[in-house]
Amino acid sequence: MSLFEDVKRAAAHLPEVIESTSYGTPSLKVRGKSFCRMWGDREYERYGVHDSEVLVVFCDVDEKPLLIEMGGGSLFSTPHYEGHGAVLSVSTMSTALH
């Protein structure tokens, strides 16, 4: 099962969650606002990631450092997301991201 399918299943019981797209990728939204989406092909190519699925999870920009710190290595960011309220989660950590 894909990472996005797992996330969809986990969010299925939450009120008002709908499956949609964001930047041409699968996303989940509440009241028209995305709270997570998958990386697109361009992002995989930009960072040379070919063995992992990456989920973008939107968060408060001020909470981002703490989320990454408490994520136990499962959450990270890239220069593209510097200054933005988003953390990245991978299904299998690629050596290209270290």
For position 92, what pLDDT does the model report?
Answer: 61
Q: Give 13-43 pLDDT, tens digit per residue.
A: 999 999 999 999 999 999 999 999 999 999 9
Residue 70, beta-bridge partner list:
none
Closest of 69, 36, 72, 70 to residue 53, by C-alpha? 36
Q: What is the pLDDT of residue 95?
A: 36
pLDDT tens sequence across 73-93: 889 999 999 999 999 998 864
Mean pLDDT over residues 57-79, rounded? Answer: 95
pLDDT at 49: 87
What's the pLDDT at 93?
A: 42
Structural domains in the chain, CATH included, are: 3-97 (3.90.1150)
Query: Closest by alpha carbon to 77, among 50, 41, 59, 92?
Result: 59
